[in-house]
Chain A
Amino acid sequence: MKNEEKVISVKNLVKKFADFTANDNLTFDVYKGEIFGFLGANGAGKTTAIRILCGLSSPTSGELNVAGFDVYKQTEKIKQNIGYMSQKFSLYEDLTVYENIKFYAGIYGLSNAQIKFKANELINKLGLQEVQNKLINSLPLGWKQKLAFSIAIIHNPKIVFLDEPTGGVDPITRRQFWELIYQAAESGITVFVTTHYMDEAEYCDRISIMVDGKIEALDTPDNLIKKYKANNMDEVFLKLARKN
């Protein structure tokens, strides 16, 4: 644990859809600068939880604090301090690389000078100089993903939420993508990431494993592997999932 400062604090979060409980009494804390993995099978309730933390959905009950602000009352303040990248990585296909950067930086209220500086910095960092005036739909998937992530943190948020950011890309690109995540974490941005790739889980500082709406385990990958007497995260996950 790099830091004791809590940036996300969740107590007894419950989210119900009619008679279905998507999040059943979740309690966890996330500390500043850590990479927090949120694991679970499809339908385990990961996306529901992440949507609540981002203010896209409201909780049924529970105490939630994100980036130091209350989820019920201070949604606007939270929005200014978080970044979000969804499964669909959300760039405008008919806009160029540069236009996408400019647009997203613009809606976070960056000044023109800041936008210019940030855009150039980002383009250089990702090596996109050649394609900066090309439409997004002409880029390969891996590039789009890296660009989407860089745009999600362009306003230097305290926390960035990544909802299955690496779906559908090859392991090498995934590896490169995680380099970016490490860099962001090093610069002090807390990374909250959901995934169902178990190899990715091992890149996280701490992980929580969700099964049927509940958190079944929460610890560092090493501790979990020891605790469940497993060889890798895959086995940990299978043991937890079979328990029920």
Chain B
Amino acid sequence: MNRFIGFLKKEFYHIFRDKRSLVILFGMPVAQVLLFGFVITNEIKNVKIAILDNSKDYITKELTDKLISTDYFILDKNLKSANEIEGIFKAGHVKEVIIFESNFAKNLEKESKANMQIITDATDPNTANLLVNYTSAIVMDYVNSINNNYKLPLQINTETRMFYNPELASVFMFVPGIMAMILMLISAIMTSITITREKETGTMEILLVSPLKPAQIIIGKVTPYVILSFVNAVIIILLGMFVFKMPVQGNIALLLFENVLFILLALSLGILISTMRNDQQSAMMISMFALLLPTILLSGFIFPIENMPWILQLFAQLMPPKWFIIIIKNIMLKGTSFAFVWKETLILAGFTVFFLALSIKKFKVRLE
């Protein structure tokens, strides 16, 4: 026990005396959560629009008011003719133009039908799509509200995005993904670096010649990172809760348990990498390429797995972060209990045991 505490102390000295690892350990997670949370969003806010109102009646007024009273749109300019549209898009800051036909209110009253046109700057197709969806949703909402007065047939809106509070949806999607990514990166990269560093400096040989058993060396080296990664997981959850107002519906203890399991999984991957490499540089490169890219691309973090070709879907099943993200989303957003995530948990546990067994075997082989 004395030996073990001495070993831990030494590891903490390494970590706290190395500014680079401190930054990776604590700066990176916070920066990434904030960056991803604020930058990668699927929602729109304060988009500048222009309106060409050929009718100027009370309905187009009301509609315009309704549109710009939301947080989504800001009225940049009232256009006088259709000729101006091209120019205003080219100037760049206006992303959407709305055109009301003449006699808009009259047409609506007489024929219960009126036309408006939404033109968007589709150089950024995602934003354009969102703008159209938001605008038509607001219009439909308005139409529904006046339907009652005019006894017009109800129109059916197939666009349902608005009703799910899109403002928050994207952050909710990203927090579990970022959590998976950061825990994977920190735990795997840091462990593979710390072990290969001892190989580089030659101290690993001394440790192996000493009475310490290989398992003791590995446990001693990774325990500090289990503790620090756990602290990180808690920081990320807190940031999610308080900065992004992400709810935690489920059991906190269960959530933390799943985090620990995932950290162990990532650490075992880090150990595995360090048994295959002898220098910090290549261990870091492998951790980045073998772990970071699949975590981002194939875990369902950003790109939905269902839309991938079947071969990639198959690969995605082999990505531990995918299962972790499912678990976290279930616990945080849906408040599900262990009964609903035990399968995924079992898969994570299986991965962990597999990687640990493999790395212990590899580590021993290196000794021979």
A12 at the interface (CB under 8 A from B): no
A104 vs B14: C-alpha distance in the bound complex, in angstroms? 15
- Write the nearest CB–CB distance from B216 to chain A, whole angstroms: 9
A93 vs B201: C-alpha distance in the bound complex, in angstroms? 9
B306 at the interface (CB under 8 A from A): no
Interface range for B: 20 to 34
Question: Is B211 a contact partner of A95 (Cβ separation < 8 A)?
Answer: no
Known: A79-B209, A90-B205, A107-B7. A56 touches B367 (CB 8 A): yes
- Write the nearest CB–CB distance from B181 to chain A, whole angstroms: 29
Residue of B nearest to A152 (CB): B206
Question: Is A109 a contact partner of B209 (Cβ separation < 8 A)?
Answer: no
- Write the nearest CB–CB distance from A116 to chain B, whole angstroms: 13
B84 at the interface (CB under 8 A from A): no
A108 at the interface (CB under 8 A from B): yes
Number of residues from A at the complex interface, CB < 8 A = 32
- Write the nearest CB–CB distance from B311 to chain A, whole angstroms: 37
A93 vs B6: C-alpha distance in the bound complex, in angstroms? 17
On chain B, the residues within 8 Å of A89 by CB distance are 202
Chain B 204-227 residues near chain A, CB threshold 8 A: 205-213
Interface SS majority for chain B: helix
A28 at the interface (CB under 8 A from B): no
Question: Is A95 a contact partner of B368 (Cβ separation < 8 A)?
Answer: no
A177 at the interface (CB under 8 A from B): no
On chain B, the residues within 8 Å of A106 by CB distance are 2-3, 6-7
On chain B, the residues within 8 Å of A103 by CB distance are 6-7, 9-10
Residue of B nearest to A161 (CB): B209
Residue of A nearest to B368 (CB): A58
A94 at the interface (CB under 8 A from B): yes
- Write the nearest CB–CB distance from B275 to chain A, whole angstroms: 15
A29 at the interface (CB under 8 A from B): no
Most buried by A among B6, B7, B213, B367: B6
A175 vs B231: C-alpha distance in the bound complex, in angstroms? 51
Question: Is A90 a contact partner of B206 (Cβ separation < 8 A)?
Answer: yes
A86 at the interface (CB under 8 A from B): yes
- Write the nearest CB–CB distance from A81 to chain B, whole angstroms: 9
A111 vs B368: C-alpha distance in the bound complex, in angstroms? 31
On chain B, the residues within 8 Å of A95 by CB distance are 10, 13-14
On chain B, the residues within 8 Å of A93 by CB distance are 201
B17 at the interface (CB under 8 A from A): yes
Chain B 174-216 residues near chain A, CB threshold 8 A: 201-203, 205-213
A94 vs B15: C-alpha distance in the bound complex, in angstroms? 10
A122 vs B14: C-alpha distance in the bound complex, in angstroms? 24
Residue of A nearest to B200 (CB): A88
Which B residues lie at the A interface, using CB under 8 A? 2-3, 6-7, 9-10, 13-14, 17-18, 201-203, 205-213, 367-368
Q: A55-B209, A95-B14 are in contact. List 13 more A-B contacts (CB 8 A).
A: A55-B208, A56-B208, A58-B368, A79-B211, A84-B205, A85-B206, A89-B202, A92-B201, A103-B9, A103-B10, A104-B206, A106-B3, A109-B2
Closest 9 pairs between A and B when the two form their complex, measured CB to CB? A88-B202, A106-B6, A84-B209, A90-B206, A90-B202, A79-B211, A94-B17, A90-B203, A103-B10
Which A residues lie at the B interface, using CB under 8 A? 54-58, 76, 79-80, 82, 84-95, 99, 102-104, 106-109, 111-112, 135
